[in-house]
Amino acid sequence: MIYKTKTLENNNQNILLVAKKIKAGNVIALPTETVYGLAGRFDNDLTIKKIFSIKNRPLSNPLIIHYGSIENALEDIYMDSRAKILAEKFWPGPLTIVAKAKNKLISKIATSGLDTVAIRVPSNKIALAVLNQFNLPFAAPSANRYGKISPTSAKDVFDELNGKVTTILNGGTTKFGIESTVIDISNKKTKILRHGGISEESINQLIKIHNKENNILIRSPGLSNSHYKPDKPIRINAIRPREGEAWLAFGKKPSYFKGVSLTLSEKKCLDESAKNLYKMLRLLDKKNVKSVAIQKIPEKGIGLAINDRLRRAAFIKDK
Ligand code: TXA
Ligand code: MG
């Protein structure tokens, strides 16, 4: 089915409209504080199947369920003190908790048939308003084609999914620009499955994380090494630009380089770099260059998430 994709401006009327559409089983793109999501009822298998098919995502890669309140979210999992501590500190916000699922209504297709579920309470006001309209959680992956970079504006969603979704709710540019951190507390050992908006250091101050070995994370089910890909090939950890490449700097742009260049953050701010990363990769995809070189970014704070995405973006062949 090919739709005429409509972008709605953010107002109370459209928030109600979108909440009603989701309640009725439709799939709608909307903003969160991390990236735009493709939202559908958490308990409707047909809707969830549609989300997978719009993204062309393998059914083995489960979705995150989003909630309008911390209480409602925690009610749906079997939990211990870790969930409470994390929720209290980081929700609403860009942390996703994986735990054993309690609520039998959650679509088995959304969780890829696992006995665990990934949940989060977003802090974006529009997402929260939609969730709280009918007190109904929604499942939402990032609103991009599978394997590509996530959208950080309504226009990005349009470029990714034009004709595949009916409606995009416009909430401007997203605050974090990179996906949520995914943390697994379904076992005694706490593991980070994906670096993201909440830094590992800030989690480690509260609870011990077990899975760190040379920054290689345990894989989430279905998530491949090759992911988050722009259209152009990229070269990471670059020291200086080469001819024919576009240059994505961390810090000041080099004055000697005459080619296309942008900077993630002139003042070497990691938060600003995360916010700009996907936006700038999309911009550079449109430029007349063969490839993009990205200056080395420090492996700390949200830099861990940036480097994780860049390694996957640069990964050529999946095992
Ligand atoms: O910031 C975000 O998390 C955005 C916004 C829209 O909320 N969503 C997002 O969703 O990035 P998605 O589907 O693109 O990524 C979800 C990640 C995947 O890596 C998936 O494998 C993992 O969460 N995941 C989901 N359920 C899981 C589970 N039960 N166990 C382990 N990993 C799980
Ligand atoms: Mg995604």
Q: What CATH number is attached to the domain comprising 305?
A: 3.40.50.11030
Give distance in angstroms: CA of 118 to centre of ligand 1.
Answer: 7
H helix runs in 174-290, sequence order: 200-204, 270-285
Does ligand 1 lie within 6 Å of residue 116's CB atom? yes
Q: Do residue 82 and residue 158 come from a single domain?
A: yes
Write the pLDDT tens digit of every residue in 264-281: 999 999 999 999 999 999
- 173 and 292 assigned to the same domain: no
SS3 306: helix
CA gap 189, 315 in Å, rounded: 28
Residues 190 and 80 in one domain: yes
Residue bearing tokens 């959650």 = 106
**Residue 210 located in a structural domain:** no
Are 143 and 268 found together in one domain? Answer: no
Is 35 touching ligand 1 by the criterion CB < 6 Å? yes
225 inside domain: no
Which of 289, 290, 307, 285 is closest to 298 using CA atoms?
307
Q: Which of 204, 225, 251 is the last residue of a domain?
A: 204
CA of 225 to the centre of ligand 2 (A): 13
Examine the domain organization and report whether 168 and 291 are in the same domain.
Answer: no
User: How many distinct structural domains can be found in the chain?
Assistant: 2
The whole domain housing 79 covers 6-204
Q: Kindly state whether residues 187 and 239 are assigned to the same domain.
A: no
Closest atom of ligand 1 to CA, residue 197: 1
Q: For residues 141 and 253, state if they share a domain.
A: no
- Is there a single domain that holds both residue 176 and residue 268? no
CA of 221 to the centre of ligand 1 (A): 10
Q: State which residues of the chain have pLDDT below 70.
A: 212-218, 222, 316-319
Does residue 31 fall inside a structural domain? yes
Rounded CA-CA distance 220/39 in Å is 20
Q: Are residues 159 and 274 in the same domain?
A: no
222 assigned to some structural domain: no
What is the per-residue pLDDT for 216?
58
Q: Is residue 217 part of a domain?
A: no
Report the pLDDT value the prediction gives residue 318, as an integer from 0 to 100. Answer: 44
pTM of this prediction? 0.96
Identify whether 1 is part of a domain.
Answer: no
Residues 24 and 169 grouped into a single domain: yes
Asked whether residue 254 falls in the same domain as residue 135, the answer is no
pLDDT at 224 (0 to 100): 77
Residue 252, domain member (yes or no): yes
Q: Which residues contact 161 (CB under 8 A, 6 or more apart)?
A: 5, 29, 38, 54, 143, 144, 145, 168
Closest ligand 1 atom to residue 144 Cα is 14
Both 161 and 36 in one domain: the answer is: yes
